[in-house]
Amino acid sequence: MTAVEEWQDALAEEGELTAPVVDRIIAVHGSRGTRAIEAVAEERVKEYRDFVVVVGHTEEYIVEDGGCTCEDSQYNLDRDDPTQRCWHVLAVEIAARIDAVDHHDMWYSEVREFL
């Protein structure tokens, strides 16, 4: 079992972000893990009918199929290495395992019209 699978399994089993799980996430993912945990705690993982969005401090990032629209994901990370995930993808993975995704029964384009 990989280090990523270990924290994912532990988180799914606990159903919440306990101190040992947080420590595992940060040990594997560093500052990206920290930012992901903060985003989940601040309820910034939003699911719409078409995809999931993580609200950053200046932009919103679309996360689909383990990939993200952020520059970090597109230019800096190896998609084949599970330890290399942007904090947006990690936030979605964490939120999904602890039922902390903010669900919206609407299309994301409808939300963009309001902004």
What tens-digit pLDDT sequence spans the chain (115 residues)?
A: 899 999 999 999 999 999 999 999 999 999 999 999 999 999 999 999 999 999 998 999 999 988 999 999 989 998 888 889 999 999 999 999 999 999 999 888 777 665 5
Burial class (CB in 10 A: 0-12, 13-18, 19+), 73: buried
Residue 79 pLDDT: 81
Question: Residue 15 gets which letter from DSSP?
Answer: S
The amino acid at residue 60 is E
Residue 112 pLDDT: 66
Residue 82 pLDDT: 84
Beta strands in 1-115 (DSSP E): 45-47, 52-55, 60-64, 67-68, 102-103
With beta carbons less than 8 A apart as the criterion, state whether 93 and 25 touch.
no
Place of tokens 């597109």: 74
Q: What CA–CA distance (Å, rounded) separates 29 from 53?
A: 20
Place of tokens 């940060």: 26
